Amino acid sequence: MTTFTATTIADVLDYAAGVLGLRPTHSLVVLPMQDNALGPVLRTDAPGTDVPAQTVADSIIENLSHALADGALFIGFDADPAVVQAVAEAMTKRGLPIHETIHVAGNHYTAFHGTEGEWNPGQTAIGLETAYNRDERDQIPELPTPAGLAAEPALTERARLVRTDHAEAMTEVRGLWATVLAGAEPTPAQIRTLRAAFSLYESRDRLHADTYGAGDGPGWEAIFTGDPGEPVVWGKVEAGEAALRLLVTHADTVEAAHLLALLAHIYWMQGRGTAAGRTADRACESDADNTFARLISHLTNAGKLAPVARDRDRAWSTNRPQ
């Protein structure tokens, strides 16, 4: 595991900002830790004094229920110090000890425990590996230039699927997607077929449900709420993620928005809020009318994790393929 030594509070603040992809303002930020290794970074809007500290603490603990943690760092950005301290104490009572509480106002910070400007004080090795293993998959696929697209064959393939008997077409594209989820690399012709299938809303929803193994279940729509009824086979989901990233590089602007929205949903289901939010925002840039992408963006900006990501027994962070 790659580590760095945090000698000042600034090191911890930079780490939190790097994982979140932004420098928070008017926020409460929690960094769960287990054996000095940092877990997922959680951000929520800083509450006012009229909101009970226990209510805020309960919400934070609920959203961290999937994370293995024996303590946490707690940071208040432009928040009322009394509120920060009260929430920290309430979290400790709920069973999550706060190793350090930090108040940040503008570019100035104060440690509520330990020596100002130092961490703990002294030096503590903090693991950079998070529960979400931030890696190259957090990089949003680059969209192709219009000149690089084979638009006419894709339109022809879309027209073929529309003209084909509905049940027959669904059997064809779901069978093709099943082979991709099993690890097969699609051919150029199959990429065109999948592009066409994901551009049609009904087949797109079914194929995305198939990614989670819920395509034939009576409650397959539940996957879009983040709480599939059946256990998720995360290896298949990761294969679907890789395939969607490939399709994005062949898609036109509107197609890409649909595919990026599905990618954002996968990241949201995995609990990778930063990647989900950035990918959803890219989808909205490609197609401002993509309501699914706007929904994922809203959920991640509000700090809302998918229910499956909060369930330690089902979460990607604790059940992903090794």
Instruction: Provide, rounded to the nearest whole percent, the portion of the chain with pLDDT above 70.
Output: 70
Q: What is the pLDDT of residues 14-50, one digit of tens each?
A: 777 766 666 677 888 888 887 777 767 788 888 877 8
Domain positions in the chain: 3-131, 139-319
How far is C-alpha 181 from the chain's CA centre? 20
Pick from 10-14, 44-48, 220-224 the range whose average pLDDT is largest. Answer: 44-48
Q: What fold is seen in the domain 3-131?
A: Cytidine Deaminase; domain 2 (3.40.140)
H helices of the chain, in order, are: 9-20, 53-63, 81-93, 151-163, 166-181, 188-199, 201-211, 234-248, 253-270, 273-286, 291-301, 316-319
Q: Is it the case that residue 294 has pLDDT exceeding 60?
A: yes
Q: Model-level pTM?
A: 0.56
> Given its phi and psi angles, is residue 25 left (phi above 0), alpha (psi -120 to 50 degrees) or beta?
beta
- In the block, tokens 């049940």 appear at 167
Tokens representing 18?
């790097």
Of the listed ranges 109-123, 154-168, 212-226, 238-252, the one predicted with least confidence: 109-123
For 31, counting Cβ atoms within 10 Å of its Cβ (0-12 exposed, 13-18 middle, 19+ buried), the class is buried
